[in-house]
Amino acid sequence: MTTTTPTADPASAPAGPDRPAGGAPTGLTTLAAAVPEAFRKLSPRAMAKAPVMFVVLVGSVATTLLALTDPGDPFGWAVAGWLWLTVLFGNLAEAVAEGRGRAQAASLRRTRTDTVARRLAAGGRVEERVPGTGLTVGDLVVCETGDVIPGDGDVVEGVASVDESAITGESAPVIRESGGDRSAVTGGTRVLSDRIVVRITARPGETFIDRMIGLVEGAARRKTPNEVALTILLAALTVVFLLAVVTLRPFAVFAGAGEQTSLLVLTALLVCLIPTTIGALLSAIGIAGMDRLVRRNVLAMSGRAVEAAGDVSTLLLDKTGTITHGNRMAAAFLPVRGVTVEELAAAAQLSSLADETPEGRSVLRLAEDGHGLPARDRDAIPGADWVPFSAGTRLSGVDLDEAGTVRRIRKGAAASVARWVRDHGGPEAVAADRTADRIAAAGGTPLQVAVRDAEGARVLGVIHLKDTVKDGMRERFAELRRMGIRTVMITGDNQLTARAIAEEAGVDDFLAEATPEDKLALIRREQAEGRLVAMAGDGTNDAPALAQADVGVAMNTGTAAAKEAGNMVDLDSDPTKLIEIVEIGKQLLITRGALTTFSLANDVAKYFAIIPALFTAAYPQLDRLNIMGLASPHTAILAAVIFNALVIVALVPLALRGVRYRPLGADALLRRNLAVYGLGGLVVPFLGIKAIDWLLALLV
């Protein structure tokens, strides 16, 4: 059916948490690929988008022209050369970040295949073969075993196992079927079994993979509101320093220090004083934030969504599959009077050996792990006649021949077990029925266990099945609380069940018996109170809430409507990843704040390096400001310029990796930021400039 098929290898999938996307190049390979791009970014039109670095570019051109007027002056050439390197290092930081995005885009392009689609025409009675690129929205296509799905769409007929490893990197196949929340399929994935009919929902060139490719390429990334605001602030500071430096010249001439304040020196002073460090790294920080999401198989539709995740204060989480496992699991054995827990556990274990359902296996785990019973093998029990679980009887069990006496054990729904006991002349189990009613009222599922032996038929007790909270959820919610984030559980369960799960999980609040309208109203209420809201969803009924939320994370397994409504898509379809997304957003904001603090703080050392060099000849008293003991005015100025360039290179790995996030309050984060990056920004330049000056003095 297809001309080519995708291969499910690690190089063809986006990254997970522990592997680079698509076999993306790393280390020296990435750096070598970014160098030509750094030179291409020297275009004035491209540089004008970053006002601070544009000023450095103008300064580089000016100092080069000044050096040409005096070719024999090595100082002029050194200053000009290092200013050009400052511009290139800033471009290199952005190019490296974008290069990682392009590597991910390249891996996604490899998943696109040229396919021949089997389109249904004439009301579905005729099948025709057309190129996949010729499909339009609304076309119906047939996909069978081995076929590559030719475009994005929804399954409208049938059920099939689909290989999505080219998209998610997960080798396990997934089920796609019509009429549910798992009906969406992605072009480029492959049908492994059965037959489905897909209605195309995206035109060629506008598919999910095409949008992913466009979004992960950093060159097309739009600046976020916070980034724009910071760019404006940096531009304003640059204008302030420009005016200050321009006014120095007449004052210096008046003081008799005109020779020390040449245009070359003033240009070097301006470049050292403006916030070049954060100006050079600002774009790379934003691109790297989106890159970290992609490496966790989350696609952000915009940088705005990543930033919003960092400011989220309310987190809406669905109960089933997010907070709980989603499958009912055995939680407790509750025997009737006169029966021990051990006797009930042993009977429950035997009656569950023929039950292959998740509930039956959970009963075995509870008996073996919770009550210390040894694991039993059906083949090792002689004389046993097994009764597999049946949806018709809603019972499972075993008939054991014990020395000529048959002992029958049954486990199943309370009503079915009660009927089985009555059919065999047993008494009505009032106590067990009351226990079952209590479990059902609390939202759990009761199963009863009964036995018929020489003493007659009777109920031994009740098994409490409940949707169990995932391990570690309480700790994660406590961590979110320390981050200042309020968690709200959303469920369709009744109030009693919702309250019990909420208390066990440790969420701050819950919304029970929730409808789509209830979810939407809750989000609007939170936003009206000034909070940013994040939620995850996968169904069409979640689409309104996903669109309203500030951060709407749609599951890749969900419907096309949900993915269109959200501003992020989780390729792994793991709702708990919403917590990681919030942490990545906060890490982005913290990284930007930390490097801004460092950039502004490290200007202080440059004052002590350059100002004495400019005016000591006219005002010897200013030599007291030369606390670093720099060798000469020329080495002092050149050392400051060199440090200004090298610190950008030194901070590129931190900008790409991000500052480590810790779940602390705003006050604690501010103190940590000032202590580490504020104080570090003061101390490191003094040490760096002094070391460079010492080396220059040796060379001279």
Binding positions are 355, 359, 389-396, 411, 538, 542
Residues 252, 261 contacting (CB under 8 angstroms):
yes
**Residue whose structure tokens are 């069990």:** 397
Q: DSSP labels for 90-107?
A: HHHHHHHHHHHHHHHHHH
Q: DSSP labels for 8-41?
A: --GGGS---TTS-GGG---THHHHHHHHHHHHHT
Going from the C-alpha of 263 to that of each of 61, 173, 272, 607, 656, the distances in angstroms are 12, 67, 14, 18, 36
Bridge partner list, 462: 334, 448
Q: What angle do CA 204, 209, 210 make, to 5 degrees?
A: 55
**Residue whose structure tokens are 């169904």:** 539
Instruction: Find all residues with CB under 8 Å of 268, minimum gap 6, and list them.
Output: 59, 63, 79, 83, 610, 637, 638, 640, 641
**Amino acid of residue 644:** N
Instruction: Output the six-digit token pair for 598.
Output: 């460092």
Residues 258, 271 contacting (CB under 8 angstroms):
no
Instruction: Output the six-digit token pair for 285.
Output: 């920080």
Residues 382, 408 contacting (CB under 8 angstroms):
no
Instruction: Find all residues with CB under 8 Å of 695, minimum gap 6, and list them.
Output: none
CA distance 145 to 129: 17
Residues 359, 417 contacting (CB under 8 angstroms):
no
Residues 98, 24 contacting (CB under 8 angstroms):
no
485: exposed, middle or buried (C-beta count within 10 Å: 0-12, 13-18, 19+)?
buried
Active site residue 154: no
Q: DSSP labels for 188-239?
A: T-EEEES-EEEEE-S-TTSSHHHHHHHHH-GGGPPPPHHHHHHHHHHHHHHH
Question: What element of type H or E holds 619?
Answer: none
Instruction: Output the six-digit token pair for 105.
Output: 């885009």
Instruction: Output the six-digit token pair for 533.
Output: 């809201």
Largest CA distance in the chain: 120
Annotated binding site for Mg(2+): 538, 542
Q: State the DSSP code for 391.
A: T
C-alpha dihedral, 588 to 589 to 592 to 597, nearest 10°:
-140
| Span between the terminal Cα atoms of the chain, in Å | 73
Instruction: Output the six-digit token pair for 539.
Output: 């169904």
Considering 163, 318, 570, 572, which one is annotated as catalytic? 318
Annotated binding site for ATP: 355, 359, 389-396, 411
Instruction: Find all residues with CB under 8 Å of 143, minimum gap 6, and list them.
Output: 1, 118, 149, 150, 160, 191, 195, 196, 197, 198
Active site residues: 318
